[in-house]
Structure 1
Amino acid sequence: MLIAHWTFDIETIDGRSVADVQGGPAVTLGESVEIVPGRDGEALSFDGRGRAIVPAVPQLVLSQIFGFALAFHVNVAEGPDGEWRGLFYKPVGEDDARSAGMWLYPDGTRLRTQLFTIKGPDYVDSRRSLPVGEWAHVAFVVNSDGMFLYIDGELDVAVPLEHAVVPLSGPISLGSEPGKPGFTGLLDDFRVYASALDESTIQALAHPLPD
């Protein structure tokens, strides 16, 4: 079930706020985050410092019991700089250090995605690297069996979860998390699902048919 969808297209923009086309909370753009031409319409542009924030609301609580998924298009503009660079961050609760997140590796453009379980953090690392200067589609799926990372519609890696995931009810940060660097590049068509997506749905999101 799709519970949030930010296209970042011009008709959803009001000043520094971007509406959710599902009717949920808006994304508030940080100072250095801009709206620019994207892969199909407009996209968010990040400079390595900025972030965009979605407030914590009940409809965006993510639970392993029901499964959940994140899906988006990303264009990484710069190669590694020795730092972990954030794409997505959602704490367990407001101002809580426990979190789910996604980062680019310090020495490359592979992805590390984290969940927080009742026994501590658990990780899945991509095998593939994201291309620099090109669009890629990323989907992260969580269900009772484990966590699954897809790149461009294909399953890249799957990791079983031995312990239950702590539900995520904090705000969403796109780009940098508080006090840490984010990635440089573009983000488009960010979707949040309160259910686990199957591979055919992910493939359709990664390679949509022309209108």
Structure 2
Amino acid sequence: MLIARWIFDIDTIDGRSAADVQGAAPAVVLDESVRVVPGRDGEALAFDGRAQAVIPAAPQLVLSQVFGFALAFFVNVTAPPDGEWRGLLYKPVGENDARGVGMWLYPDAMRVRGQVFTAKGPDYVDSRTSLRVGEWTHVAFVADADGMYLYIDGRLDVGVPLEHEVVPPYGPIYLGGQPDRPGFTGLLDDLRVYASALDAGTVQALARPPS
């Protein structure tokens, strides 16, 4: 079930905020460094490695392993690895709390790391596929009662089992830079949040180029 979608087109932008086109979730709050630029289909958000956008915490954005959940977006990373973990998306368990759900780029590679926080601590899943600098890539992170899975451009890249219960993340969603941590340099578009685990066919359909 799709619960929120931000497409970042200019008609959804009001000052320094970008509305959810589903209409129920909070708007994305853009810091002064985030720019709205031409994207893959309409507009996209541009991040400079320090810029951050925040989706305030809301009851409808609490993610539960019981029902499954998924996060999906298009990203175009325009800078090569620089020795730092670079944040793509991050949602803490609570305000200023442990990392609940997140995705980062490796310090020395264009691979993606996904993470959930379980009753026994963090669990990770690392992509085998590397993103290409300067090219649009669709990334989907899916979790359910059995495991967590990374899809790259609509194909299942890697999945790992989850032996312990995932702690539901209640905090805000950070895009790009996290509090006191760098983010990626590049563009982000069509961010979707689902309150259910997506199957392979649905992810594949999301990754198709616009017609």
Identify the TM-score tier after normalising by the shorter chain: over 0.9
Partner residue of 2:134?
Answer: 133
Shift of 1:97: 2.4
Q: Confirm or deny that 1:108 pairs with 2:103.
A: no
Structure 1 counterpart of 2:49, one-letter code: G
Shift of 1:99: 2.2
* Identical-pair percentage: 74
Q: Give the secondary structure class of the aligned counterpart of 2:123.
A: strand
Q: Give the secondary structure class of the aligned counterpart of 2:137.
A: strand
Partner residue of 1:161?
Answer: 162
Q: Give the secondary structure class of the aligned counterpart of 1:173.
A: strand
C-alpha contact (below 8 Å) 2:41/2:210 kept by paired residues:
no
Partner residue of 1:145?
Answer: 146
For residues 138 and 98 of structure 1, what CA distance do their matches in structure 2 show? 19
C-alpha contact (below 8 Å) 2:70/2:143 kept by paired residues:
yes
For residues 27 and 206 of structure 1, what CA distance do their matches in structure 2 show? 22
Structure 2 counterpart of 1:182, one-letter code: G
Q: Confirm or deny that 1:56 pairs with 2:57.
A: yes
Q: Confirm or deny that 1:12 pairs with 2:12.
A: yes
Partner residue of 2:42?
Answer: 41
Give the length in aligned residue pairs.
210
Q: Confirm or deny that 1:22 pairs with 2:22.
A: yes
Segment drifting more, 200-209 vs 129-138: 200-209
Segment drifting more, 189-198 vs 201-210: 201-210
TM-score, structure 2 normalization: 0.98
- Runs (5+) with no aligned partner, structure 1: none
- Structure 1 ranges of 4+ moved more than 3 A: none
Structure 2 counterpart of 1:124, one-letter code: V
Segment drifting more, 106-115 vs 90-99: 90-99
Shift of 1:100: 1.4
For residues 57 and 10 of structure 2, what CA distance do their matches in structure 1 show? 24
Shift of 1:181: 0.4
Structure 2 counterpart of 1:43, one-letter code: A
C-alpha contact (below 8 Å) 2:149/2:160 kept by paired residues:
yes
1:90-101 equivalences in 2 (<5 Å): 90-101=91-102
C-alpha contact (below 8 Å) 2:57/2:172 kept by paired residues:
yes
